[in-house]
Amino acid sequence: MPPVTIDVQGVVKRFGQVEVLRGIDLTVAAGELVALLGPSGSGKTSLLRIIGGLEQADRGVVRFDGQDAAARPVGARGVGFVFQHYALFRHMTVARNIAFGLEVQPRARRPDRAAIRETVARLLALVQLDGLGHRYPGQLSGGQRQRVALARALAVAPRVLLLDEPFGALDAKVRKDLRRWLRRLHDDTGATTVFVTHDQDEAFEIADQVALMNDGRIEQIGAPQQVYDRPASAFVYDFLGHANRLSGVARDGMADFGAMRLAAPAGLSGPVLAFIRPADLVPVDGPGADRLSGTVVGLFATGLGLRCDLAVPGLAEPVAAEFVRSAGGDRRIGRGTVLHLQPAKVQFLPRPGGAADRHGAGEPVGGA
Protein backbone atom coordinates (compact mmCIF):
# COMPACT_ATOMS: atom_id res chain seq x y z
CA MET A 1 0.00 0.00 0.00
CA PRO A 2 1.28 3.49 -0.75
CA PRO A 3 2.30 5.59 2.26
CA VAL A 4 -0.10 8.23 3.49
CA THR A 5 0.09 11.87 4.39
CA ILE A 6 -0.76 12.47 8.03
CA ASP A 7 -2.51 15.72 8.79
CA VAL A 8 -3.09 16.72 12.40
CA GLN A 9 -5.20 19.79 12.99
CA GLY A 10 -5.97 21.60 16.21
CA VAL A 11 -5.68 18.53 18.40
CA VAL A 12 -6.42 19.15 22.07
CA LYS A 13 -6.24 16.42 24.71
CA ARG A 14 -6.76 16.62 28.42
CA PHE A 15 -6.45 14.00 31.14
CA GLY A 16 -8.64 15.21 33.98
CA GLN A 17 -7.51 18.74 34.76
CA VAL A 18 -4.24 18.49 32.85
CA GLU A 19 -4.17 19.69 29.27
CA VAL A 20 -1.48 17.54 27.70
CA LEU A 21 -1.97 18.76 24.13
CA ARG A 22 -2.91 22.38 23.58
CA GLY A 23 -3.71 22.66 19.91
CA ILE A 24 -1.34 20.63 17.75
CA ASP A 25 -1.00 21.21 14.02
CA LEU A 26 1.33 18.85 12.23
CA THR A 27 1.64 17.62 8.69
CA VAL A 28 3.77 14.62 7.84
CA ALA A 29 4.33 14.13 4.13
CA ALA A 30 3.90 10.66 2.66
CA GLY A 31 6.98 8.53 3.22
CA GLU A 32 8.61 11.02 5.57
CA LEU A 33 10.37 10.14 8.83
CA VAL A 34 9.45 12.62 11.54
CA ALA A 35 10.73 12.78 15.11
CA LEU A 36 8.65 14.17 17.95
CA LEU A 37 11.33 15.46 20.27
CA GLY A 38 10.78 16.90 23.71
CA PRO A 39 11.24 16.49 27.43
CA SER A 40 9.07 14.02 29.33
CA GLY A 41 5.60 15.41 29.92
CA SER A 42 5.67 17.52 26.75
CA GLY A 43 2.81 15.50 25.23
CA LYS A 44 4.73 13.72 22.50
CA THR A 45 3.57 10.23 23.42
CA SER A 46 -0.04 11.39 23.75
CA LEU A 47 0.16 12.88 20.26
CA LEU A 48 1.58 9.63 18.87
CA ARG A 49 -1.17 7.61 20.56
CA ILE A 50 -3.83 9.90 19.13
CA ILE A 51 -2.37 9.54 15.63
CA GLY A 52 -2.39 5.76 16.14
CA GLY A 53 -5.96 5.74 17.45
CA LEU A 54 -5.08 4.43 20.92
CA GLU A 55 -6.45 7.67 22.40
CA GLN A 56 -9.20 9.97 21.24
CA ALA A 57 -8.54 13.68 20.81
CA ASP A 58 -10.90 15.95 22.76
CA ARG A 59 -10.83 18.44 19.90
CA GLY A 60 -9.28 18.55 16.46
CA VAL A 61 -8.87 15.95 13.73
CA VAL A 62 -6.29 13.52 12.46
CA ARG A 63 -6.52 12.84 8.73
CA PHE A 64 -4.81 10.12 6.74
CA ASP A 65 -4.71 11.19 3.09
CA GLY A 66 -7.44 13.73 3.79
CA GLN A 67 -9.83 11.24 5.45
CA ASP A 68 -10.77 11.50 9.10
CA ALA A 69 -8.85 8.67 10.78
CA ALA A 70 -11.18 8.58 13.78
CA ALA A 71 -13.87 7.09 11.56
CA ARG A 72 -11.91 3.84 11.53
CA PRO A 73 -11.18 1.62 14.52
CA VAL A 74 -7.57 1.24 15.58
CA GLY A 75 -7.05 -2.04 13.80
CA ALA A 76 -8.35 -0.72 10.48
CA ARG A 77 -6.17 2.39 10.24
CA GLY A 78 -3.24 0.63 8.66
CA VAL A 79 -1.01 1.71 11.51
CA GLY A 80 1.91 -0.25 12.90
CA PHE A 81 2.63 0.70 16.48
CA VAL A 82 5.88 -0.10 18.29
CA PHE A 83 5.58 0.35 22.03
CA GLN A 84 8.21 1.70 24.36
CA HIS A 85 8.38 -1.54 26.32
CA TYR A 86 7.68 -3.59 23.18
CA ALA A 87 4.50 -5.21 24.58
CA LEU A 88 5.46 -8.53 23.03
CA PHE A 89 3.11 -11.41 23.79
CA ARG A 90 5.29 -13.34 26.20
CA HIS A 91 3.43 -16.62 25.90
CA MET A 92 3.98 -16.76 22.14
CA THR A 93 7.14 -17.53 20.23
CA VAL A 94 8.80 -14.81 18.20
CA ALA A 95 7.29 -16.28 15.03
CA ARG A 96 3.77 -16.34 16.52
CA ASN A 97 4.22 -12.76 17.71
CA ILE A 98 5.12 -11.63 14.22
CA ALA A 99 2.30 -13.65 12.67
CA PHE A 100 -0.29 -12.30 15.11
CA GLY A 101 -1.50 -9.41 12.94
CA LEU A 102 -2.05 -11.80 10.04
CA GLU A 103 -3.67 -14.59 12.06
CA VAL A 104 -6.35 -12.36 13.57
CA GLN A 105 -7.59 -11.15 10.21
CA PRO A 106 -11.06 -12.21 9.09
CA ARG A 107 -11.00 -15.51 7.24
CA ALA A 108 -11.73 -13.89 3.88
CA ARG A 109 -8.62 -11.72 4.05
CA ARG A 110 -6.35 -13.97 6.08
CA PRO A 111 -3.37 -15.35 4.14
CA ASP A 112 -3.04 -19.15 4.24
CA ARG A 113 -0.58 -20.85 6.58
CA ALA A 114 2.16 -21.11 3.99
CA ALA A 115 1.90 -17.44 3.11
CA ILE A 116 2.02 -16.47 6.80
CA ARG A 117 5.08 -18.66 7.32
CA GLU A 118 6.73 -17.04 4.35
CA THR A 119 5.97 -13.52 5.60
CA VAL A 120 7.33 -14.35 9.04
CA ALA A 121 10.53 -15.74 7.55
CA ARG A 122 10.95 -12.67 5.36
CA LEU A 123 10.43 -10.31 8.32
CA LEU A 124 12.79 -12.30 10.55
CA ALA A 125 15.43 -11.87 7.87
CA LEU A 126 14.62 -8.19 7.54
CA VAL A 127 15.14 -7.58 11.27
CA GLN A 128 18.19 -9.86 11.24
CA LEU A 129 16.76 -12.46 13.58
CA ASP A 130 16.81 -15.46 11.22
CA GLY A 131 16.56 -18.72 13.09
CA LEU A 132 15.20 -17.18 16.29
CA GLY A 133 11.54 -17.65 15.39
CA HIS A 134 11.04 -20.48 17.89
CA ARG A 135 12.35 -18.51 20.88
CA TYR A 136 10.18 -16.76 23.41
CA PRO A 137 10.51 -13.00 24.03
CA GLY A 138 11.91 -13.72 27.50
CA GLN A 139 14.89 -15.44 25.87
CA LEU A 140 15.91 -12.40 23.80
CA SER A 141 18.04 -9.35 24.54
CA GLY A 142 16.48 -5.88 24.63
CA GLY A 143 17.67 -5.00 21.14
CA GLN A 144 16.33 -8.27 19.74
CA ARG A 145 12.95 -7.73 21.40
CA GLN A 146 12.82 -4.28 19.90
CA ARG A 147 13.36 -5.74 16.45
CA VAL A 148 10.69 -8.39 17.02
CA ALA A 149 8.28 -5.60 17.97
CA LEU A 150 9.16 -3.84 14.72
CA ALA A 151 8.73 -6.98 12.65
CA ARG A 152 5.37 -7.62 14.30
CA ALA A 153 4.22 -4.11 13.43
CA LEU A 154 5.51 -4.44 9.86
CA ALA A 155 3.76 -7.77 9.28
CA VAL A 156 0.44 -6.08 8.56
CA ALA A 157 2.13 -3.87 5.91
CA PRO A 158 1.21 -0.63 7.69
CA ARG A 159 0.92 2.59 5.76
CA VAL A 160 1.96 4.46 8.88
CA LEU A 161 4.60 3.31 11.35
CA LEU A 162 4.51 4.83 14.83
CA LEU A 163 7.28 4.23 17.35
CA ASP A 164 7.20 5.32 20.99
CA GLU A 165 10.72 5.84 22.36
CA PRO A 166 11.83 2.89 20.26
CA PHE A 167 15.33 2.75 21.67
CA GLY A 168 14.63 4.19 25.10
CA ALA A 169 15.40 1.04 27.06
CA LEU A 170 18.59 0.07 25.24
CA ASP A 171 22.22 0.84 25.96
CA ALA A 172 24.15 3.47 24.00
CA LYS A 173 25.94 1.22 21.52
CA VAL A 174 22.83 -0.79 20.59
CA ARG A 175 20.82 2.43 20.26
CA LYS A 176 23.26 3.83 17.73
CA ASP A 177 23.27 0.69 15.60
CA LEU A 178 19.53 0.31 15.74
CA ARG A 179 18.69 3.88 14.79
CA ARG A 180 20.77 3.75 11.63
CA TRP A 181 19.18 0.44 10.86
CA LEU A 182 15.73 1.97 11.43
CA ARG A 183 16.53 4.73 8.95
CA ARG A 184 17.53 2.19 6.31
CA LEU A 185 14.43 0.14 7.08
CA HIS A 186 12.29 3.23 6.66
CA ASP A 187 13.89 3.96 3.32
CA ASP A 188 13.22 0.36 2.24
CA THR A 189 9.60 0.06 3.38
CA GLY A 190 8.66 3.64 2.60
CA ALA A 191 5.93 3.85 5.28
CA THR A 192 5.24 7.27 6.71
CA THR A 193 6.97 7.08 10.06
CA VAL A 194 6.60 9.10 13.26
CA PHE A 195 8.73 8.34 16.29
CA VAL A 196 8.89 9.80 19.74
CA THR A 197 12.17 10.44 21.49
CA HIS A 198 13.72 12.60 24.16
CA ASP A 199 17.18 12.07 22.69
CA GLN A 200 18.10 14.87 20.32
CA ASP A 201 21.01 12.96 18.77
CA GLU A 202 18.58 10.23 17.80
CA ALA A 203 16.10 12.71 16.32
CA PHE A 204 18.70 14.73 14.47
CA GLU A 205 20.53 11.74 13.06
CA ILE A 206 17.69 9.92 11.37
CA ALA A 207 14.66 12.21 10.98
CA ASP A 208 13.68 14.17 7.89
CA GLN A 209 11.80 16.60 10.10
CA VAL A 210 12.11 17.24 13.80
CA ALA A 211 9.11 18.57 15.73
CA LEU A 212 10.16 20.01 19.08
CA MET A 213 7.44 19.72 21.66
CA ASN A 214 7.09 21.52 24.93
CA ASP A 215 4.20 21.69 27.35
CA GLY A 216 1.60 20.39 24.91
CA ARG A 217 2.66 22.52 21.96
CA ILE A 218 4.96 22.17 18.99
CA GLU A 219 7.59 24.86 19.49
CA GLN A 220 9.30 24.38 16.17
CA ILE A 221 9.28 22.00 13.28
CA GLY A 222 11.84 21.76 10.52
CA ALA A 223 14.72 19.86 9.05
CA PRO A 224 17.30 18.92 11.71
CA GLN A 225 19.92 21.32 10.43
CA GLN A 226 17.45 24.17 10.24
CA VAL A 227 16.19 23.58 13.78
CA TYR A 228 19.71 23.35 15.11
CA ASP A 229 20.95 26.45 13.32
CA ARG A 230 17.94 28.64 13.87
CA PRO A 231 16.12 27.67 17.07
CA ALA A 232 12.80 29.47 17.13
CA SER A 233 12.47 30.05 20.83
CA ALA A 234 14.32 30.20 24.11
CA PHE A 235 12.91 26.77 24.94
CA VAL A 236 14.37 25.20 21.82
CA TYR A 237 17.74 26.78 22.57
CA ASP A 238 17.64 25.50 26.12
CA PHE A 239 16.46 22.06 25.12
CA LEU A 240 19.05 21.60 22.39
CA GLY A 241 21.43 22.56 25.10
CA HIS A 242 24.83 24.00 25.72
CA ALA A 243 23.99 27.49 24.52
CA ASN A 244 25.16 30.44 26.59
CA ARG A 245 22.22 32.60 27.46
CA LEU A 246 23.10 36.21 28.12
CA SER A 247 20.64 38.73 29.49
CA GLY A 248 21.09 42.28 28.26
CA VAL A 249 19.40 45.48 27.17
CA ALA A 250 19.05 46.68 23.57
CA ARG A 251 18.76 50.28 22.45
CA ASP A 252 19.34 52.06 19.14
CA GLY A 253 20.53 48.98 17.28
CA MET A 254 23.05 48.00 19.94
CA ALA A 255 22.71 45.57 22.83
CA ASP A 256 24.82 45.54 26.01
CA PHE A 257 25.71 42.37 27.87
CA GLY A 258 27.96 43.39 30.74
CA ALA A 259 30.99 44.96 29.14
CA MET A 260 30.24 43.53 25.70
CA ARG A 261 28.30 45.56 23.15
CA LEU A 262 26.90 43.82 20.08
CA ALA A 263 25.02 45.08 17.07
CA ALA A 264 21.39 44.14 17.64
CA PRO A 265 18.82 43.61 14.89
CA ALA A 266 16.86 46.71 13.96
CA GLY A 267 13.59 47.12 15.79
CA LEU A 268 14.77 45.29 18.91
CA SER A 269 14.85 47.34 22.06
CA GLY A 270 14.43 46.75 25.75
CA PRO A 271 15.37 43.55 27.58
CA VAL A 272 16.85 40.92 25.28
CA LEU A 273 18.36 37.48 25.44
CA ALA A 274 21.36 36.49 23.36
CA PHE A 275 22.14 32.84 22.72
CA ILE A 276 25.67 31.90 21.76
CA ARG A 277 26.81 28.30 21.35
CA PRO A 278 30.12 27.48 23.05
CA ALA A 279 31.66 26.51 19.72
CA ASP A 280 30.71 29.91 18.29
CA LEU A 281 33.00 31.71 20.74
CA VAL A 282 36.33 32.07 18.93
CA PRO A 283 39.46 32.82 20.95
CA VAL A 284 41.18 36.03 19.78
CA ASP A 285 44.32 37.83 20.86
CA GLY A 286 43.06 40.91 22.65
CA PRO A 287 40.03 42.50 24.27
CA GLY A 288 37.47 44.56 22.39
CA ALA A 289 34.07 46.16 22.80
CA ASP A 290 32.33 43.31 20.91
CA ARG A 291 34.27 40.60 22.70
CA LEU A 292 33.95 38.74 25.96
CA SER A 293 36.95 38.78 28.27
CA GLY A 294 37.02 36.52 31.29
CA THR A 295 39.02 34.28 33.57
CA VAL A 296 38.95 30.51 33.16
CA VAL A 297 37.28 28.95 36.22
CA GLY A 298 36.66 25.45 34.90
CA LEU A 299 38.24 23.21 32.29
CA PHE A 300 36.79 19.99 30.86
CA ALA A 301 37.97 17.63 28.18
CA THR A 302 35.01 16.63 25.96
CA GLY A 303 36.23 13.93 23.63
CA LEU A 304 37.79 15.86 20.75
CA GLY A 305 37.23 19.23 22.34
CA LEU A 306 38.04 21.32 25.34
CA ARG A 307 35.39 23.24 27.20
CA CYS A 308 36.22 26.27 29.33
CA ASP A 309 33.96 28.01 31.79
CA LEU A 310 34.84 31.67 32.09
CA ALA A 311 33.87 34.15 34.76
CA VAL A 312 33.09 37.36 32.87
CA PRO A 313 32.80 40.61 34.83
CA GLY A 314 29.28 42.01 34.54
CA LEU A 315 27.64 38.65 33.70
CA ALA A 316 25.82 36.65 36.37
CA GLU A 317 26.73 33.18 35.13
CA PRO A 318 29.94 31.73 33.74
CA VAL A 319 30.20 31.59 29.96
CA ALA A 320 31.11 28.30 28.29
CA ALA A 321 33.41 28.18 25.28
CA GLU A 322 34.52 25.12 23.36
CA PHE A 323 37.47 24.61 21.02
CA VAL A 324 39.12 21.73 19.26
CA ARG A 325 41.69 20.42 21.73
CA SER A 326 44.90 21.13 19.80
CA ALA A 327 43.96 24.76 19.37
CA GLY A 328 43.20 25.08 23.06
CA GLY A 329 46.36 23.23 24.05
CA ASP A 330 48.49 25.58 22.01
CA ARG A 331 47.23 28.46 24.06
CA ARG A 332 48.28 26.83 27.33
CA ILE A 333 44.91 27.30 28.93
CA GLY A 334 44.57 26.65 32.66
CA ARG A 335 42.56 27.89 35.58
CA GLY A 336 43.11 31.60 35.97
CA THR A 337 44.04 32.18 32.33
CA VAL A 338 42.39 35.27 30.86
CA LEU A 339 40.74 34.58 27.50
CA HIS A 340 39.28 36.94 24.93
CA LEU A 341 36.44 35.54 22.87
CA GLN A 342 34.76 36.81 19.73
CA PRO A 343 31.15 35.65 19.24
CA ALA A 344 30.91 34.32 15.70
CA LYS A 345 27.15 33.78 15.73
CA VAL A 346 24.55 35.26 18.04
CA GLN A 347 20.80 34.78 18.11
CA PHE A 348 18.71 37.48 19.77
CA LEU A 349 15.30 36.99 21.33
CA PRO A 350 13.24 39.57 23.18
CA ARG A 351 13.23 38.95 26.91
CA PRO A 352 9.64 39.14 28.14
CA GLY A 353 9.18 40.64 31.58
CA GLY A 354 12.85 41.41 31.76
CA ALA A 355 13.47 38.48 34.10
CA ALA A 356 14.98 35.19 33.01
CA ASP A 357 12.08 33.38 31.38
CA ARG A 358 12.29 29.78 30.35
CA HIS A 359 9.33 29.48 28.05
CA GLY A 360 7.60 31.29 25.28
CA ALA A 361 10.18 33.94 24.57
CA GLY A 362 8.52 34.54 21.24
CA GLU A 363 9.77 34.62 17.69
CA PRO A 364 13.44 35.05 16.93
CA VAL A 365 14.39 38.44 15.62
CA GLY A 366 17.45 37.63 13.63
CA GLY A 367 21.14 36.95 14.14
CA ALA A 368 24.32 38.94 14.11
Partner 1 sequence: MTKPGTHPAATTEAPAVRLALTGLALCYLGLFLALPLAVVFREALGQGTAAFVAALAAPDALAAMRLTLLVAAIAVPANLLFGLAASWLIAKFAFPGKRLLVTLIDLPFSVSPVISGLVYVLLFGAQGVLGPWLIAHDVQIVFALPGIVLATIFVTFPFVARELVPLMERQGTGDEEAALSLGAGGWQVFRRVTLPNIRWGLLYGVLLCNARAMGEFGAVSVVSGHIRGLTNTMPLHVEILYNDYNFVAAFAVASLLAGLALVTLVLKAVLEWRLGGDHGGTEP
- Of 21, 88, 221, 361, which lies in the binding site for partner 1, with binding defined by CB under 8 A? 88
In contact, 45 and 51? CB cutoff 8 Å: no
Size of the site for partner 1 (CB under 8 A): 30
Task: Kindly state the smallest distance separating residue 151's Cβ from partner 1, in Å.
Answer: 12
Angle at 149 between CA 100 and CA 210, to 5 degrees: 130
Is residue 72 a contact residue for partner 1 (CB under 8 A)? no
- Of 10, 75, 314, 362, which lies in the binding site for partner 1, with binding defined by CB under 8 A? 75
Is residue 297 a contact residue for partner 1 (CB under 8 A)? no
Task: Kindly state the smallest distance separating residue 91's Cβ from partner 1, in Å.
Answer: 4
Burial 208-224 (b: 16+ CB within 10 A, else e): bbbbbbbbbbbbbbbeb
Is residue 113 a contact residue for partner 1 (CB under 8 A)? no
- Of 12, 61, 87, 365, which lies in the binding site for partner 1, with binding defined by CB under 8 A? 87
How far, in Å, CA of 165 to CA of 168, rounded? 5
Is residue 105 a contact residue for partner 1 (CB under 8 A)? yes
Is residue 126 a contact residue for partner 1 (CB under 8 A)? no
Is residue 86 a contact residue for partner 1 (CB under 8 A)? yes
Q: Decide whether 136 or 181 has the Cβ nearer to partner 1.
A: 136
**Contacting range for partner 1; rule: CB under 8 A; set: 18-26, 147-155, 223-231, 333-341:** 147-155
Q: What residues contact residue 240 under an 8 Å CB cut-off, 6+ apart?
A: 200, 227, 228, 231
Burial class (CB within 10 angstroms; exposed 0-12, middle 13-18, buried 19+) of 281: buried
- Of 31, 43, 52, 143, which lies in the binding site for partner 1, with binding defined by CB under 8 A? 52
DSSP per-residue codes, 154-212 = HTT--SEEEEESTTTTS-HHHHHHHHHHHHHHHHHH--EEEEEES-HHHHHHH-SEEEE
Q: Decide whether 75 or 362 has the Cβ nearer to partner 1.
A: 75
**Contacting range for partner 1; rule: CB under 8 A; set: 121-129, 133-141, 220-228, 353-361:** 133-141
Q: What residues contact residue 7 under an 8 Å CB cut-off, 6+ apart?
A: 26, 27, 28, 61, 62, 63, 64, 66
Q: Which residues of the chain form contacts with partner 1 (CB under 8 A)?
A: 52-54, 74-76, 79-81, 83, 85-92, 100-101, 104-105, 136-138, 145, 152-153, 155-156
